[in-house]
Every structure is written in structure tokens, then in C-alpha cells.
Amino acid sequence: MSINTKITGVGSYLPETIVTNAMIEDILDTSDEWIIKRTGIRQRRVVKDETTTYMAVEAAKRAVENAGIKSENIELIIGSTISGDVSSPAIASYVQRTLGCENVAAMDVAAGCTGFIYAMATAISLMETLNKNTAVVVASENLSCRSDWSDRSSCILFGDGAGAVVIERSESNSIYHPVLHAIPDTDDVLYVASSKYAHPWSKDIATDDCAIRMDGKKVFAFAVDAVEKTLNELTELCGDKPITKIILHQANNRIIRYAATSSSYDKDQFFVNVDRLANTSSASIPLAIDEAAREGWLKKGDVVALVGFGAGLSYGGIIIEWAI
Ligand code: ACO
């Protein structure tokens, strides 16, 4: 990139309601022990009254406040979700409306759980192309309402929440080496169907099935391969500037542990909050950044690899130097 950018603010929103594994034991044939052993997940946050839009707006507001900027200075908003309240408009448009920014470009990207990485890459590219100074990238997911609560192999995995960052132009560059990839999901191993009406001339039938469907074993195999490839690629691109911290999409602690074992990095360099928040799809990386920053796990000067993977099958990563 020829313009210099950095993250100047971060924020998140989590619903208050906590659903523990024990609470799922009450409704399904599963156990806390099985879930922890296969996923590392102990509990998840789920919406009660909140919507995907509400969480996106709250996370964005907090990021803007954290950056210490005025909403009217935002010039670009990129959203990411697989669980929007509406198919159109974008959550970015609702964030614009609520924050009251008049003159922005606002759109969402749809790249499954890799959405935040694609959104970051899109934001820094558009900041350059459109000559913008300040952007908000926000990812928000309401997966509890996209889970089939009779399917014990998938509903145990997901949680709700939103995270956002503010990106501003800066003197030196702290966001670089975006790498975006996708391989065809020819077997439909991971997708979320849309509900639809059928018109009188179509052979299609109306459906209200909009639950997350996946082949867990195939997704696992794809995920560990994608993480390994992306970390290797980022490591090579960073050259003699070592990556100090790694934030992976928080899909499953087994995937994170596997990545740590198969890489040259130490397990302590990997951030983990999937045990408490479960898999929040594209919101998991900004949620992790916010928590890691607030808890002091991220230190000024850290060279952080963000790595995502998900439906598509998309995957990718980006480097951020922590500068707050
Ligand atoms: N509780 C108890 N038993 C269960 C549960 C459950 N919640 N779910 C499945 N089982 C049973 C199955 O029925 C099966 O029983 P059987 O042997 O009698 O047929 C047994 O456990 C083993 O099932 P598998 O599906 O083979 O279990 P696996 O070891 O593959 O674990 C899991 C399933 C956790 C989903 C794993 O495949 C996985 O982690 N995959 C990655 C998926 C993922 O992270 N997806 C996230 C969304 S995609 C993304 O974010 C990129």
C-alpha cells in the first residue's frame, strides 16, 4: 500500500445473556465434557433483545469513542456479517444512519468468518483509491438465531457479538500485507441458506430454513490447512520483522491448538477467548482485538498476525502493528 494507515480505536459489544454448556445439556443430548474436549468452548453470549444492527452500532460507537474522533469525520464504513437483520441495506448503512455521518461510502463484505480480514483489506484499499482519511470496520453476528438448536453438532459452536476498529491515515504504516484467498467449496461443506418466497412460475419452494449447515470434519481439515498456509505466508512477507502475536478467527480451540503445534510460534503467542465467547464468525477477530487490547495482552509495538477462515471457502490474513 502506498498510503500509511493505523488502527486508532477499537470497540465491541457483547450481549449480557450467557448460555453455558450445562444449559445446553438441558435441551440436547450432549455434555459439557464432550463440548469442551472437542471445541474448548465453555459458554457463549446470546442475544435477548439485541439485533445484529444494534450490536454493530454499539461496537462502532465504542471504537469511535476510543479513537477520540467525531462521527462526522468518518468517511468510509465497511461492515461484515453473515447474519444481518435484513438482506439489504448493509449493516454499514445502519451504522452510518445511527452515528449520523453524512458523507460516507458505506457497504458490507460477505466472506463468511473471514469477513473481518476482507473488510480490513477493502477499507485500506478504498481509503487509498477514494482518498479517504478515516474508516470504520465493523463486524457483527447474531449466530444464535442462525443455529439449528436441534443439531447438536453445530449449535454448540456459536455465539453472538460485534467488534469494530477505526482506521486513520498516519505518518508510518501499521496495517500491511493483506493476503486474501478462497478455494471452491464444491461439496457445500459450510453455508447458511437464505429464506425465500417461491413465485408462481418457479419450481422452487418457499423455505424459511436459514440455519448454519456444515460438515464439521471437512471444515476442520480446511481450517487447519488455511491457518498454516496463511501464517507461513505472513511470516515470509514480514521477513526479518518478527510476528509477536497471533489472533486467529476463534472458531474452535482445537483449531488454535493445532495451529500452534504445527507452526514455529509458541502457544502463548495465540490469543484465545473462544472458551468464553464461542465462535462469533466474522466478529470474532475484532472482539478478540478489543479484549486483548483492554487486558494489556496486546502491547504497543506488537506485530500482530490476524488470520481468518470460513465459508466460501475463504481465508486470509493481515498484519497490524499495535499502535494505541
Ligand atoms: N455432543 C455429544 N455428541 C456429539 C455432539 C455433541 N454436541 N455433536 C456430535 N456428537 C457425536 C456425533 O453424533 C458422533 O456420534 P457417533 O460416533 O455415535 O455417530 C460423535 O459425536 C462424533 O461426531 P463427529 O462429527 O465425528 O465429531 P468431531 O470429532 O468431528 O467433532 C466438531 C465435531 C466439533 C464440529 C468438529 O468436527 C469441528 O470442530 N469441526 C470444525 C467446525 C468448526 O469449527 N466450524 C465452525 C464454523 S466454520 C468456521 O468458523 C470457519
Q: 1 pLDDT exceeds 60?
A: no
Check if 5-172 and 177-321 are the same fold: yes
Catalytic entry in 66, 249, 252, 273: 249
DSSP 3-state assignment of 277? helix
Q: What is the pLDDT of residues 109-131, one digit of tens each?
A: 999 999 999 999 999 999 999 99
Q: What is residue 280's predicted lDDT score, i.e. its pLDDT? A: 98
The CATH architecture of the domain made up of 177-321 is 3-Layer(aba) Sandwich (3.40)
Q: What are the residue boundaries of the structural domains of the chain, listed by start?
A: 5-172, 177-321
CATH topology of domain 5-172: Peroxisomal Thiolase; Chain A, domain 1 (3.40.47)
Query: For 88-97, what is the mean pLDDT?
Result: 97
Which element (helix H / strand E) includes 210?
none
| Known catalytic residue at 249 | yes
pLDDT tens-digit readout, 165-205: 999 999 999 999 999 999 999 999 999 988 888 888 887 77
DSSP-based three-state secondary structure for 264: coil
Q: Helix, strand, or coil here: 15?
A: coil
List the alpha helices (DSSP H) in 243-322. Answer: 253-262, 274-277, 284-294
Determine which one of 21, 66, 101, 113 is catalytic. 113
Please state whether the predicted TM-score (pTM) of the whole model is above 0.75: yes
CB 118 within 8 A of CB 180: yes
Nearest-atom number in ligand 1 for the CA of 284 is 50
Q: Is 224 in the pocket of ligand 1 (CB under 6 A)?
A: no
